[in-house]
Amino acid sequence: MSNFELLIFNLKNPTLLFFLLGVLAKMVKSDLEIPAASKGFIALYLLFAIGFNGGSELAVTGITYEVILHLIFGFLLATIIPIYAFFILKIKLNSYDAGAIASSYGSVSAVTFVTAVAFLEMNQLKVGGEMVAVMASMEFPAIIMGVILMNLFPSKSQENPPKMLWRNALIHSLTNGSVLMIFGSLLIGFISDSNQSVGIKHFTSDIFKGFLAIYLLDMGMVAASRFSAFKKQGAFLLCFALFVPIVNGVLTAYGSQFITGNEANRLIFAVLAASASYIAVPAAMRLVAPKADPGLYIPMALGVTFPINITIGMPLFLQIIHG
């Protein structure tokens, strides 16, 4: 299959098509809307399902040297990416905004992760259960690194900038609802008796893609609503949101061959490196960096980087991995 044929094949993924339907609905000013209560439930369900299934898979493989290596590699990605992202962004932005955006791009998007898992299943590739733990563990180091960079390299206009406690960032990133749900589900799936877990397998597997499609429909509408606000910020941030994540993903897709030979895990590493958080990081930054403008980092992550990753990024990364 050629690169173009692979791209067209992946663009026909029904979950992705529902995302595009959401974008279209917002553009034509349709009254289509997902009830708020339903959105909250679906988000929790997706985190629960992916965490529980990952924990069950991890229980089968066990805590091996390779699993530990994967966790270390994910931690390094979440630590290194915010550093160079911060200094690129600081060319045009103050340290608060640069640090918040750098944290967002060093952290991960759970929805992008879930979409990547569905994408891999469509390509008959199986993800290792430890990758759920890798994803969840990449939230807090990116947030902590962003806070440290804000403190170490304040903008010249910031006289006596207030010190932001890294402890607050750590506590909030670990107790954030999405992180707690996926970590908790992972642990429960890991320690649960396999025979007793069979009863909820249908709930965590069979209806998963249907819920993902509805959630991406809503994500499409939300992303489209952010486009106009983001366009006011200029070409610099647009280029960053478009190209830096793709570069991160491409480099990780290539470099991950030295960490694992599992193609599915390599794609997940690439997707995690390319994604940006629009849930955990904004929630943490409201507490530890209230002067950072959420009108910048949320539209960048959700309105630009998320669509690029699920339309172009994943097929591109998989092609690089296939060599």
Render pLDDT for 148-173 as a digit per residue (tens, 0 to 9): 888 888 877 655 555 555 566 667 66
Residue 78: which pLDDT band, with cuts at 50, 70 and 90? very high
> What is the pLDDT averaged over residues 255-274?
95
Which residues are CB-neighbours of 248 under 8 A, at least 6 positions away?
A: 81, 105, 273, 274
Helix orientation angle between 235-255 and 65-89, rounded to the nearest 10 degrees:
160
User: For residue 27, is pLDDT > 80?
Assistant: yes
- Least Cα distance to 88 among 282, 281, 240, 230 occurs for 240
pTM of the model: 0.77
User: For residue 202, is pLDDT > 60?
Assistant: yes
> 267 to each of 120, 205, 275, how far by Cα in Å?
8, 21, 12
**pLDDT per residue as tens digits for the range 224-252:** 776 665 666 578 898 999 999 999 999 99
CB 120 within 8 A of CB 267: yes
Residue 318, number of CB atoms within 10 A of its CB: 23
> What is the pLDDT averaged over residues 205-209?
79
User: For residue 1, is pLDDT > 60?
Assistant: no
CATH number of 34-322: 1.20.1530.20
> What is the pLDDT averaged over residues 195-212?
79
Pairwise CA distance, residues 142 & 176, whole Å: 14
Pairwise CA distance, residues 17 & 40, whole Å: 21
